[in-house]
């Protein structure tokens, strides 16, 4: 250790000038001294770097790495995709797998499931476990979490995000970021901002009001930066105000860096940079993925041809630019280095530990949503019963595919395996049979990672349905595992869905099975809502998400009653697209219209601030399942809502609410607080989520929950002053356990 330190100091203390060696200071350089203030270390390191070294650290040198400063003892900086696990390593210049045997991981549930837990403590544990896995794999930045708003159920990457509500997203992203960074791994919160389309994602120019931008689409990012202290933010592919969001004067320089005081690094999405001048001036700090096929496409020296590479250096030498912008970018990169690669205090990492699997399992269990349970069909009583499991999604591995979040999981327990492995099934003389029911995507590979499954089945849809129906006639329970998968035009990066309908003849299958078995249970595997024309014919419906490594174990525990479901929907589940605001204004609002003669699609968010439940409230629509909805095997009562300070001048409010478990078993519920501005100079939603808390109660137990809000909770974005504004007057607070089940209210006044 002493020899290593001595060598490091020796290298740092010598410098070469005009080919001659000269002795530098005999003291430890400031940048190598962890006891020094980080800004002093940045100043010192920056002063020692050559122009070439500065240029080298602000752009990629491989698919997922950028150069360190070897002469100064700073190692290369390695990123990797998330946000649900550490992506397997790819070749230096290609997207194909590197063929390593030590880059498997724990696949954590997709972020829609995490958001459905409505549990910030689960988000912190999730981020911490992911950070430990990243550390073990030598990664200093995870490209996540994703927090774009669920504007339409057709969004191809909705499964990677945290739902439709800016407040829920804000409360869940902060602990995720803090958990990840607590072990010295940088988060890179994405995709900033307005990235709600996958089709033609490089071409979409979003037209949105400043009010909707600040009230709906920015709060999650603002919370990640101001509260979570995120070290990285990824620019989005799309365009806003005719500038790509990876180098956007308004979103990056003004809002992110100036207004919010972000001191971290802005990273381009892979291939998201398009212009040298904008890349230099408009807030981009590190460029990745330009010429995304690496050295096999474009110039033979592709990494040198990045906008922020040789051409930027040449422009500085020729006097087109000074080093002002360059030094600012390098400062941010160095700050990231000292927080990650140069942080000697970070702990050791762990890969595929039991604790990580436990975290994945607990998040999955807490996020599974019981949507419907007529006649208390669930939980299943397996003793001596015959259970028929139907559907491709009961056996298909879901961790491979879907785009950049695809993983190489050490193991993935399927729903069928989870039921078969459950101890209560093994010990209760329960028989489990299986019928395919439908054939969907029989493939199972992405960038060289394969599931090893052979799901080919040449039978016709009619034959598959007939087999399932015949078996269902003699079963005590039928569990259908259907929904979407991670194929193109489903839940997948690169394409949006074309319809809300279930693919692969599933509606016909579900209807036929429900007709012959009264105990039919449908489990929807997806990150998006789907249409359910048969909903009233199926007594029990469960939203099962993409649950990762422990999917089958978590689903079995809920279906069999070992876990009492407590998940709540993080988005509004529409009956059809007609109920969605984004689809209520024609093509101009979604998916947008090509600008004449230009490679640009103008997409205007005409619904404005009225996204999700804000829209259904405004239009007085009844969705299939409301935002915040989720049932339990017990029952709860929310009552006695009180405002502790019913008259306030500063906007800070404290509320108390009693929550009682009125059922027979222990369970968890989420008390939700919404606020209405009774009279305002601008149109506001009927109500907006402003506080929540998850509580666990024994049968008959009552807990008094205290919730606090601040002036921001009463405010709207005032476009005239370009700031938040709370108007004095009367407000109403509503409390309950879903947005359509608010059983108590209290009035209060802002003076």
Structure tokens at 540: 């029990």
Spatial distance between the Cα atoms of 268 and 190, rounded to a whole number of angstroms: 10
Return the higher-pLDDT residue of 443 and 537.
537
Specify the pTM: 0.95
**Is 398 in contact with 546 (CB distance < 8 Å)?**
yes
What CATH number corresponds to the domain at position 675? 2.60.40.10
pLDDT at residue 694 above 60?
A: yes
Same domain? For 529 and 436 the reply is yes
Same domain? For 244 and 304 the reply is yes
Same domain? For 146 and 90 the reply is yes
Task: Give 391-420 as a 3 state SS string.
Answer: CHHHCCCCCCCCCCCCCCECCCCCHHHHHH
Starting at the earlier edge strand, list the strands of the sheet with 232-235: 65-66, 77-81, 141-143, 186-192, 232-235, 265-267
How many C-beta neighbours within 10 Å does residue 5 have? 11
Same domain? For 200 and 100 the reply is yes
Same domain? For 42 and 25 the reply is no
Please compute the mean of the pLDDT values over residues 651-670 and round it to a whole number.
97
Reported as a single tens digit per residue, the pLDDT across 586-609 is 999 999 999 999 999 999 999 999
Q: What does pLDDT average to over the chain?
A: 94
Positions annotated as catalytic residues are 269
pLDDT at residue 293 above 70?
A: no
The answer to whether residue 612 sits within a structural domain is no
What DSSP string describes 654-698?
A: EEEEEEEE-SSS-EEEEEEEEEEESS-SS---S-EEEEEEEEEE-
The answer to whether residue 588 sits within a structural domain is no
Same domain? For 73 and 48 the reply is yes
> Which pLDDT belongs to residue 26?
53
Residues 6+ positions from 597 with CB-CB distance below 8 Å: none
The Cα angle at residue 311 between residues 305 and 317, in degrees rounded to 5: 150
The answer to whether residue 596 sits within a structural domain is no
pLDDT at residue 12 above 80?
A: no
Same domain? For 241 and 100 the reply is yes
Domain that holds residue 685: 634-750
Instruction: Report the chain's terminal Cα–Cα distance, integer Å.
Output: 64
The answer to whether residue 576 sits within a structural domain is no
Number of domains forming the structure of the chain: 4
The last residue of one of the domains, among 532, 563, 594, is: 563
Contacts 24+ apart (CB under 8 A), 293-297: 293/93, 293/94, 293/95, 294/62, 294/63, 294/92, 294/93, 294/94, 295/93, 296/93, 296/94
Reported as a single tens digit per residue, the pLDDT across 186-198 is 999 999 999 999 9
The answer to whether residue 609 sits within a structural domain is no
Spatial distance between the Cα atoms of 385 and 314, rounded to a whole number of angstroms: 75
What CATH number corresponds to the domain at position 51? 3.20.20.300
The last residue of one of the domains, among 520, 542, 563, is: 563
Phi, psi of 204 (to 5 degrees): -80, 120
Same domain? For 42 and 29 the reply is no
Map tokens 């590479």 to a residue.
309
Same domain? For 235 and 137 the reply is yes
> Which pLDDT belongs to residue 110?
98
pLDDT at residue 94 above 90?
A: no
Reported as a single tens digit per residue, the pLDDT across 328-348 is 999 999 999 999 999 999 999
The answer to whether residue 607 sits within a structural domain is no
Using 50, 70 and 90 to split pLDDT, how confident is the model at 73? Answer: very high
Using 50, 70 and 90 to split pLDDT, how confident is the model at 298? Answer: low
Same domain? For 25 and 42 the reply is no
The answer to whether residue 419 sits within a structural domain is yes
Reported as a single tens digit per residue, the pLDDT across 470-493 is 999 999 999 999 999 999 999 999
Same domain? For 549 and 647 the reply is no
Q: What's the count of helices (H) and strands (E) in the chain, helices before strands?
A: 18, 31
The Cα angle at residue 103 between residues 101 and 107, in degrees rounded to 5: 130
Spatial distance between the Cα atoms of 72 and 79, rounded to a whole number of angstroms: 21
The last residue of one of the domains, among 538, 563, 588, is: 563
Query: Distances in Å between the alpha carbon of 76 and those of 66, 70, 341?
Result: 6, 8, 8
Same domain? For 392 and 426 the reply is yes
pLDDT at residue 660 above 80?
A: yes
How many C-beta neighbours within 10 Å does residue 744 have? 16
The answer to whether residue 578 sits within a structural domain is no
> Which pLDDT belongs to residue 24?
41
pLDDT at residue 666 above 50?
A: yes
């Amino acid at each position: 250790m002493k020899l290593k330190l001595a060598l490091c100091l020796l290298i740092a203390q010598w410098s070469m000038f005009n080919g001659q060696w000269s002795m530098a200071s005999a003291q430890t350089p400031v940048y190598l001294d962890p006891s020094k203030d980080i800004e002093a270390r940045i100043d010192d390191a920056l002063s020692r770097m050559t122009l070439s070294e500065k240029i080298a650290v602000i752009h990629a040198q491989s698919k997922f790495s950028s150069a360190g400063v070897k002469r100064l003892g700073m190692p290369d900086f390695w990123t990797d995709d998330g946000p649900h696990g550490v992506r397997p390593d790819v070749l230096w210049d290609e997207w194909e797998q590197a063929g390593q045997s030590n880059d498997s991981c724990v696949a954590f549930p997709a972020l829609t499931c995490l958001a459905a837990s409505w549990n910030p403590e689960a988000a912190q544990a999730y981020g911490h476990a992911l950070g430990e896995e990243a550390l073990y794999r030598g990664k200093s930045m995870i490209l996540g979490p994703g927090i774009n708003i669920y504007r339409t159920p057709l969004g191809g990457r909705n499964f990677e995000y945290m739902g439709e509500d800016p407040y829920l997203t804000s409360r869940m992203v902060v602990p995720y970021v803090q958990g990840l960074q607590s072990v010295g791994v940088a988060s890179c919160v994405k995709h900033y901002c307005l990235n709600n389309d996958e089709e033609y994602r490089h071409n979409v120019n979003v037209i949105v009001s400043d009010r909707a931008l600040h009230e709906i689409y920015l709060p999650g990012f603002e919370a990640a930066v101001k509260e979570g202290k995120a070290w990285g933010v990824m620019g989005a592919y799309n365009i806003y105000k005719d500038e790509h969001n990876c180098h956007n004067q308004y979103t990056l320089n003004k809002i992110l860096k100036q207004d919010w005081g972000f001191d971290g690094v802005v990273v381009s999405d892979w291939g998201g940079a398009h212009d040298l001048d904008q890349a230099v001036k408009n807030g981009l700090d590190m460029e990745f993925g330009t010429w995304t096929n690496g050295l096999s496409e474009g110039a033979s020296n592709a990494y040198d041809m990045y906008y922020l590479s040789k051409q930027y250096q040449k422009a500085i030498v020729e006097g087109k630019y000074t080093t002002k912008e360059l030094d600012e970018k390098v400062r941010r990169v160095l700050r990231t280095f000292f927080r990650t690669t140069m942080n000697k205090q970070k702990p050791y990492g762990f890969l595929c530990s039991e604790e990580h699997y436990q975290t994945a399992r607990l998040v999955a269990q807490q996020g599974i949503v019981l949507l419907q349970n007529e006649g208390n069909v669930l939980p299943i009583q397996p003793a001596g019963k015959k259970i028929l499991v139907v559907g491709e999604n009961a056996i298909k591995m879901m961790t491979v595919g879907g785009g950049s979040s695809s993983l190489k999981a050490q193991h993935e327990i399927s729903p069928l395996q989870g039921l078969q492995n459950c101890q209560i099934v093994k010990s209760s003389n329960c028989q489990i049979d299986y019928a395919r029911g439908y054939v969907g995507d029989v493939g199972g590979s992405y960038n060289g990672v394969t599931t090893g499954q052979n799901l080919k089945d040449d039978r016709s849809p009619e034959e598959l349905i007939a087999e399932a129906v015949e078996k269902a006639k003699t079963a005590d329970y039928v569990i259908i595992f259907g929904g979407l998968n991670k194929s193109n035009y489903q839940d997948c990066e690169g394409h949006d869905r074309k319809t809300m309908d279930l693919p692969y003849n599933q509606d016909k299958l579900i209807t036929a099975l429900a007709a012959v078995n009264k105990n039919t249970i449908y489990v929807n595997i997806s990150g998006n809502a789907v249409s359910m024309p048969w909903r009233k014919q199926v007594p029990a419906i469960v939203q099962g998400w993409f649950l990762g490594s422990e999917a089958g174990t978590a689903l079995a525990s809920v279906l069999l009653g070992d876990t009492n479901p407590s998940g709540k929907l993080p988005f509004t589940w529409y009956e059809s697209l007609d109920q969605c605001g984004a689809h209520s204004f024609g093509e101009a609002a979604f998916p947008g219209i090509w600008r004449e003669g230009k490679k640009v699609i103008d997409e205007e968010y005409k619904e404005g601030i009225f996204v999700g439940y804000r829209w259904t409230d405004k239009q007085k629509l009844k969705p299939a399942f409301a935002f915040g909805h989720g049932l339990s095997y017990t029952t709860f009562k929310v009552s006695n809502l009180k405002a502790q300070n019913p008259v306030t001048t500063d906007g800070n409010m404290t509320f108390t609410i009693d929550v009682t478990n009125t059922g027979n078993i222990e369970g968890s519920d989420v008390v939700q607080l919404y606020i209405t501005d009774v009279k305002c100079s601008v149109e506001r939603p009927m109500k907006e989520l402003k506080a929540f808390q998850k509580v666990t109660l024994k049968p008959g137990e009552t807990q008094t929950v205290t919730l606090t809000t601040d002036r921001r909770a009463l405010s709207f974005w005032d476009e005239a002053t370009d700031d938040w504004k709370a108007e004095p007057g009367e407000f109403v607070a509503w409390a309950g356990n879903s947005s359509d089940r608010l059983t108590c209210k209290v009035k209060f006044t802002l003076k």
